[in-house]
Amino acid sequence: MKKKVILFISSFFVFGSMITAQETASKEYQANYQQVLKRTQWWRDARFGMFIHFGAYAVPARGEWVKSNERLTTEQYQKYVDAFNPIDFDAKKWAKAAKAAGMKYAVLTAKHHDGFCMFDSKLTDYKASTKFNGRDIVREFLDAFRAEGLKVGLYYSLIDWHHADYPNVGNHPQRDDKEYAKRKFNWDNYLTYMHGQVEELVKNYGKIDIMWFDYSFDNYNSEKWKAKSLLQMVHKYQPDIILDNRLDINNGTATTGRMVSFIGDFETPEQGIPEVPLIDKYGNSIPWETCLTLNNNWGYAESDNNWKSPELIVHCLVNCVSKNGNMLLNVGPDARGNIPDESIRILSEVGKWMDKNNESIYGCGASNLIKPDWGRYTQKNNTVYAHWMYPILGALNAKGIGDKAKNVFLLSSGAELSFQNSWWGNNEPGNLFINADKAKDSPGKMDAVIKIELK
């Protein structure tokens, strides 16, 4: 642990901030932090997961926010619910795609903001199983992903745009509807329903590794959701489960002012990557996960072809890991239940890179070396992985390693790379010039990983 603290202080100096004195954390805070670390160990080693946004919103095919964006009434939305019949849905196919991409866990939307449930809840008929031959999408997802050896998680929306007792607050589709606002909303009824559904999920579906609650806003926060009693119940059934932080307000990609939470295990920056590893004011490393879309939408969107390239996805993953973070990459299956072809293509390209280079991702985290021009570092114990992402001139300097390098290889082929401490008159201390151009002149399309074993 000590080593890590030093590492983070130095990385803060690098980025120009100053930590002058270390405050001491309360015993309670430290004890909770140790628990968080213990619970999240497998998850922090896994680093790469799949997010799946699947629901009736795949029918209008304009993203999962369509009901809110277009201010649709429940009656207007009903035609999509009625039409939702994902005849091609095959969770085994999804699981194989995730596994082939090198992902180690997956999180499926059990209920999104529209309130339509992908699981066979006894507390509502507003669920896919009422029509889909009684099939329980959540159960099939869990079975298939577990069978592939992946850890499983469920996303559950705290917000509910369908429930009669959920008020028209925040981005509710009827937020501007004065008549709707006159209705009586019984918050306790909603809480009973919401807690009850979460209980169904954690009680009836075997081991759930992750619960992903979404999301808090304004005064709709942990108190309002009665998060404490909710989590007590969750932990009763699932003592080892790990939880995102959105039972409280989330801080996006902010890098300062964060603390390790008592009601969630990891932070959830969305569609962006923090600039430095996240630490609390005591220097403790905070577990975090960036979630991001492959195009611009979480839910299926027919006309959104703004796909990220496989190269960018690999760079994002390496970026996260180089700062002790995870990446949860989204797919939005269409209304027939198929992950879009383009998503599958990108995932399989990423998977090809992962096949050769996953050693530089799994179990890896930040290095205390200064970020170089040509890419990024990840590190695991005594092995530094130099991710060569951008073209350079001449030899590649892994500055800071100096004479501590024992062996240097190109990870993808295992070929040895020669190295020396000075090059073209540059004898500065800490130099490690790697003759990477012997293997290639440039990092190629993705990221050429150079494995540096330290003495």
Separation of CA 285 from chain center: 17
Least spacing, CB of residue 157 vs ligand GLC, in Å = 8
User: Residue 40 or 330: which CB sits closer to ligand GLC?
Assistant: 330
Distance CA 125, CA 408 (A): 60
Least spacing, CB of residue 66 vs ligand GLC, in Å = 11
Least spacing, CB of residue 107 vs ligand GLC, in Å = 9
Name the token pair of 181.
């606002």
Compute the CA torsion angle 183, 223, 113, 314 (nearest 10 deg): 160
Least spacing, CB of residue 37 vs ligand GLC, in Å = 23
With binding defined as CB under 6 A, does residue 278 bind ligand GLC?
no
Contact track, ligand GLC, 347-386, x by CB under 6 A: ----------------------------------------
User: Residue 162 or 376: which CB sits closer to ligand GLC?
Assistant: 162
User: Residue 190 or 298: which CB sits closer to ligand GLC?
Assistant: 298
Least spacing, CB of residue 24 vs ligand GLC, in Å = 34
Strands 151-157 and 210-214: parallel
For tokens 């932070």, name the residue. Answer: 267
Least spacing, CB of residue 272 vs ligand GLC, in Å = 11
Least spacing, CB of residue 65 vs ligand GLC, in Å = 6
With binding defined as CB under 6 A, does residue 248 bind ligand GLC?
no
Looking at residues 206 to 225 of the shown chain, list those that interact with ligand GLC (rule: CB under 6 A). 214-215
Distance CA 278, CA 288 (A): 8
The DSSP secondary structure of 209-237, one letter per residue, reads -EEEEE--BTTBSHHHHTHHHHHHHHHHH
Distance CA 129, CA 200 (A): 15
With binding defined as CB under 6 A, does residue 411 bind ligand GLC?
no
Looking at residues 35 to 94 of the shown chain, list those that interact with ligand GLC (rule: CB under 6 A). 53, 64-65
Count interface residues toward ligand GLC (CB under 6 A): 8
With binding defined as CB under 6 A, does residue 388 bind ligand GLC?
no
Residue 276: beta bridge partners? none
Nearest to 200 by CA among 160, 263, 154: 154
Spell 109-120 as b/e; 16+ CB within 10 A means b: bbbbbbbbbbbb
Least spacing, CB of residue 227 vs ligand GLC, in Å = 17
With binding defined as CB under 6 A, does residue 270 bind ligand GLC?
yes
* CA 165, 169, 173, 176 torsion-angle sign: positive
Name the token pair of 277.
């590893």
For residues 111 and 197, the answer to whether their CB atoms sit within 8 Å is yes
User: Residue 198 or 384: which CB sits closer to ligand GLC?
Assistant: 198
Strand order in the sheet with 383-388: 375-380, 383-388, 448-454, 405-410
Residue 111: beta bridge partners? 117, 156
User: Residue 330 or 431: which CB sits closer to ligand GLC?
Assistant: 330
Least spacing, CB of residue 420 vs ligand GLC, in Å = 47
Name the token pair of 292.
């991001």
Cis amide linkage into residue 215, ω under 30° from 0: yes
Rounded to a whole number of angstroms, the CA Rg of the chain reads: 24
With binding defined as CB under 6 A, does residue 298 bind ligand GLC?
yes
Rule CB under 6 A: choose which of 150, 230, 260, 291 binds ligand GLC: 291
For residues 283 and 5, the answer to whether their CB atoms sit within 8 Å is yes
Task: Give the CA distances from residue 45 to residues 66, 261, 372, 439, in Å, rounded to whole numbers and listed in that order.
Answer: 36, 20, 24, 30
Least spacing, CB of residue 297 vs ligand GLC, in Å = 9
Contact track, ligand GLC, 3-42, x by CB under 6 A: ----------------------------------------
User: Residue 7 or 108: which CB sits closer to ligand GLC?
Assistant: 108
User: Residue 227 or 446: which CB sits closer to ligand GLC?
Assistant: 227
What residue ranges bind ligand GLC (CB under 6 A)? Answer: 53, 64-65, 214-215, 270, 291, 298
